[in-house]
Structure 1
Amino acid sequence: MKTVAEAGYVLMGFILYLSGVYGQTKTICALKGSSVDLPCAAKNPTSSTKWFAAHWNGSMIVQNELPADGNRVTYNMSEESQPTLRINDLRESDGRSYCCEESVKLCWQNAIQLNVSDLQVMVFPTTEGQSVTLMCSTSCPLTENPAAYIWYRNREFLYEDWSPWYQELVNSDETVTYSCAIKGYEDLRAPNVSVDSVTSTCFKVTYAGGRMCSHWKKSEDEPCSITYPSEVFVQPIPIETLGRVTLTCSTNCTLTTTQPAYTWYRNRCKYFESHHLVCRTSLNASISCAVKGLEQLHSAEVCVADKNCWTVNYPNRRICALKSSSVNILGQYSHPKDQQPKSKSWYKKSISGEGQAKKLKEIPRRVEYRDKVKNHHSLWLNNLQQTDSAEYTFRLQKDNDECKSPELPGVTLIVTDLKVKLHPEVVTEGQRVTLTCSTSCPLSGDTTYIWFLNGQPLTLPENQSKQLVLDPVNRQHAGYYSCAVESGKRNISSTDKALTVLRITGDLMLAAAAGAGAALLVIIPLTVLCCIRIRRRKTSSKPPRPPRASQNKDQLNSSPLYENISAQPKEQDDHHYSRLVFSRNHTEDLYSTIESVSSR
């Protein structure tokens, strides 16, 4: 039986571990429904080493030895490899701290915090009028970097891309649903979501389930409709109690019948969950609030004592920019009148949120700081590359301040190139074909697109910009297409995409003939082989007869089957297969046997 002192030691050690005071803290985030392997951090693990789990239950810490059931939870404690704990079919209840030691007393110095998250399509308001933008999101940064994101519309595959940001702005249409998945985990798809309505102050969405419903005190297993405000702000309400003020997380949205849950932040750290916050007027701290579960829908930071505190705000938290272009990321700040910032710096963090933020150093004509306007600081990034896609935060360093990583979200930047996509890929005269100037994130709705055919600009029909529709398509439309977007004094262009138009009669007949010819080249030799085997079987079934050389010779020469084969040129096979040129490019494969139609 544990003594009171031993129990107190374990409890204190666990609290210190959670607070990061000592010990090696490691956090792992994995998808709900997937599997995870947790390494044992014990210095000298033996066969008697055990796994323990701990979690908070209200204000109490619950610690248990973790048994292996051989199915969902398994141990690998062999001496030949590193001991691991495998948990399959992860559940939210598996999100807790784990450690392995011979006794729980020594355990929490090297524990692992496991967080479990499902996928969710997050919906954010935009400044583009009545439209929203979508993001494939998890509640914690996944430890395994996603290979790619897959988007679905009305349950059908739409496209695959490295960016978690949906490539189009979305208008309201309750009949259209969106979902996403991570490549390799397609069976763990996010619940469907539809955008039912969008106004200047609110937007209403319907989720098929998931954690977004639980934030509104509804079941995760049932659909829920939620009306979100497009903006939140902190509003002070004076009360009679001297020296105190009530702060309200307010919106201009009047359509919602149920108040959302709000999270309050003090000095950029989570502080309280409520609609109201009562604090002293003398409090020298920054205060902000956000809609719970949608923390990127965040208010500006304010000071209780009339701007006598440190604040950082961003006018735009999501930016989509073109590769090779330039971008200006703006931060607005304030500080106490009697204190000046020791330094002003920008930090860059992985787009997935994994890892620590790194301080950005200025590089001439590539990375520049600009601080010419009072209480405004800009980060200019020139000649953007995809590796610049990240989350950027601005920090003010005070005296004796360690510049700790803020919990508030910064500015998400996605850098995209331009690609021309065809639908359908194979086009016949008279069909409808759509060419799309595709990106990895939604550019501004007023972006001007320029289309080129064989390097020459096209005059677009009305209402055709990002998409070029050819209906009906004909041979004159064939050629190499590209698209471009104006960026400053120059255009940023895509690579060329070939559009080949097949003739209804000539090309299709030629394609059919080529296909039939290839099929015959396979069928004829097979037929010959079958005939030979049948003939041999019939011959072998008869009683043996004395050989007659002259008779056999005459039979061979008079056989019509062998006459046909011997009469053909020796180079026949080489001649037919030389027309079937197979390359690595599927388009080249197709058109190597079909006459392509060049543009006029």
Structure 2
Amino acid sequence: MALRTAGSVLVVFLWSVAVVLGQTGWSVTYTKKSICAFKGSKVELSCSYTYPSVHTITTTFWFTKYDAEGKPVSLRDDPDYNRRVTYHRDKKNRLTIRDLREKDSATYKFRFITDHTGGKYTGDPGVTLSVTALQVMVTPPRWATSKTLTCITTCTLTGNPTYIWYKNGQHLDESTSPQYKYSVFSNYDDSYSCTVKGHEDLHSPAVCLQDQDCSRVTYTKRRICVLKGSTVDISCTYVGYYSTTSTFWFRSDKSTPEDLIRDPGYTGRVKYTGTYRGPSILRITDLREEDSAEYRFTFKTKKWGHSFPGTTLSVTGLQVKVTPAAEGQKTLTCITTCTLTDNPTYIWYRNGLNVQDNSSPMYSISSEDADSYSCAVKGREGLRSSAVCEYSAAQ
């Protein structure tokens, strides 16, 4: 797809589209026909629907794919969206997708099923979601002395956003134009990046104007979700044209950047490893929920400022949630406050004994079951959730 100049955040078309499904009285109306959203952000899709009053709705869901038998697969059961989607049971039938990835670009359709034979309906054509990242386009080619910088995306955004420009990691300028208002001159040490106001955590990669030796920091992962009590490694690769005088990691929510090693809240829990032009690694042990923050790496030179954006760390515990399922059944779900990194395997315990290892965080039991249940993640069995008595929770 050809790159086009960005123009706003999230919404492309603001009109509604009504889709009538073959028979009078059956319809699905999507609030938006097309949406353009930033990689790493979250997006909300919504719709309304109608059906004959003699029917009763039994199931509603959103989907993008069909299984081998040609049946739509609910996003909640699609491993590509594992724990990143939320269905809101309201009049707008809202769907929220978090931590968007470029492969989430697809057509999303809403489907509802009634208690009548054949009462299964899908709203066509659906909502087209395009997921984009910000990039800095440099023109003309590298051998030219004067350059023009433009902040671009792969889908067209509308509105009147404010673009923010950075030079060597420091705030440079803000403008409603995606093109930086001044020409810049080629040199070997300066790097430039951009973002959109309100989405400063979704920064473009820094680009060099000449060769690849300019000052910049590239983080291995932009978001990490790990369990309370565990250990995490946050890493980045950094390059500086000038020799460095110091390097350290810090929390971005501090008013003044403070070396984590000197922060009393991290005493004895922080270690740095790494070499120049190689990965620099921050290790934090015995994680606590208050450690949830954005972490940034910086190196000091005569020109370089603070590196951003960094890696956002979320620290979570495990909990067991009990919900009704099919008749005579309950579903237990091992929930977290963020999507755990690296697709973990879940372990279920009944009365303290292991009963199942599964990649899914869900486990089905009988409604008459009065045992206690807890869950853990494989490799972190010592960080088990609190036990829940299903009989008590169901009352």
Shared fold (TM-score, shorter chain, > 0.5): yes
Residues 355-386 of structure 1, C-alpha deviations (whole Å, 9 max, x = no match): 44422117797211011473421101122111
Query: Which secondary structure does the structure 2 equivalent of 1:358 belong to?
Result: coil
SS in 2 for 1:200: helix
Instruction: Spell out the pairing of 1:410-559 with structure 2 (5 A cutoff).
Output: 410-423=310-323, 431-444=328-341, 446-459=343-356, 465-470=360-365, 472-474=366-368, 477-487=369-379, 491-500=382-391
Q: Is the 8 A contact 2:188 2:214 kept in 1?
A: no
Superposed counterparts of 1:300-449, under 5 Å: 300-336=205-241, 339-350=242-253, 355-361=255-261, 366-372=269-275, 374-398=277-301, 408-423=308-323, 431-444=328-341, 446-449=343-346
Equivalent position SS for 1:487? coil
Can you list the C-alpha shifts for 1:83-130, whole angstroms capped at 9, x where unaligned? xxxxxxxxxxxxxxxxxxxxxxxxxxxxxxxxxxxxxxxx7635xxxx
Q: Hey, what does 1:169 align to over in structure 2? A: 84
The 2-side partners of 1:412 and 1:301 are apart by: 18
Aligned to 1:233: 135
The answer to whether the 8 A contact 2:347-2:376 is kept is yes
Q: Which residue of the partner structure matches residue 290 of structure 1?
A: 195
Q: TM-score, normalised by structure 1?
A: 0.42
Higher percent of residues as helix:
1
Q: Which runs of structure 2 are paired with 1:132-151 in the superposition (5 Å)?
A: 133=42
Paired residues of 1:168 and 1:442 also in contact (CA < 8 A): yes
The amino acid across from 1:374 in the alignment is R
Question: 1:279 offset after TM fit, Å?
Answer: 1.5
Distance 1:365 1:496, change over 3 A: same
Q: Distance in 2 between matches of 1:124 and 1:491?
A: 37
CA RMSD of aligned residues (A): 4.2
Write out per-residue CA displacement over residues 309-341 of structure 1, whole angstroms, 9 at most, x where no aligned residue: 3212223222111111111111221111xx311
In structure 2, the residue matched to 1:267 is: 168
Larger RCO: Structure 1 or Structure 2 (Cα < 8 Å, ≥ 6 residues apart)? 2
Measure, in 2, the Cα distance between the counterparts of 1:239 and 1:370: 38
What SS class does the counterpart of residue 290 from structure 2 fall into? helix
**Count of aligned residue pairs for this structure pair:** 295
Per-residue Cα deviation, 1:278-311 (whole angstroms, up to 9, x for no partner): 3111374220012343222211112213234321
Alignment partner, residue 246 of structure 1: 148
State the alpha-carbon separation in 1 of the partners of residues 320 and 293 from structure 2: 25
| Structure 2 length-normalised TM | 0.62
**Alpha-carbon displacement from aligned partner over 1:393-450 (angstroms, at most 9, x marks no partner):** 1110125x7x8656x43222111111112236xx9x9643221212111214722111
Cα deviation for residue 485 of structure 1 reads 0.5
Residues 287, 201 of structure 1: alpha-carbon distance in 2 compared, 3 angstrom cutoff: farther
- Contact 2:188–2:211 (Cα < 8 Å) also in 1: no
Amino acid paired to 1:318:
R
Which residue type is aligned with residue 453 of structure 1?
R
What does residue 39 of structure 2 align with?
125
* 1:239 to partner: Cα distance: 6.1
Look up the equivalent residue of 1:447 and give its one-letter code: P
Deviation at 1:242, TM superposition (A): 4.8
The amino acid across from 1:125 in the alignment is K
CA distance in 1, matches of 2:157, 2:258: 43
Quote the Cα distance in structure 2 between the aligned partners of 1:308 and 1:445.
Answer: 32
Distance 1:134-1:371 versus aligned 2 partners, 3 A rule: farther
* Amino acid in the other structure paired with 1:361: I
Tell me the percent identity.
30
Report Cα offsets for 1:543-593 as digits up to 9, x if no partner: xxxxxxxxxxxxxxxxxxxxxxxxxxxxxxxxxxxxxxxxxxxx7xx8xxx
CA change 1:310–1:431 in 2 (3 A) is: same
Query: In structure 2, what is the Cα distance between the partners aligned to 1:458 and 1:284?
Result: 58
Specify which structure has the higher proportion of strand.
2
Name the larger-Rg structure: 1
Matched ranges for 1:186-197 at <5 A: none
Counterpart contact for 1:172–1:198, Cα < 8 Å: no
Structure 1 residues 260 and 226 mapped into 2: Cα distance closer, same or farther (>3 Å)?
farther
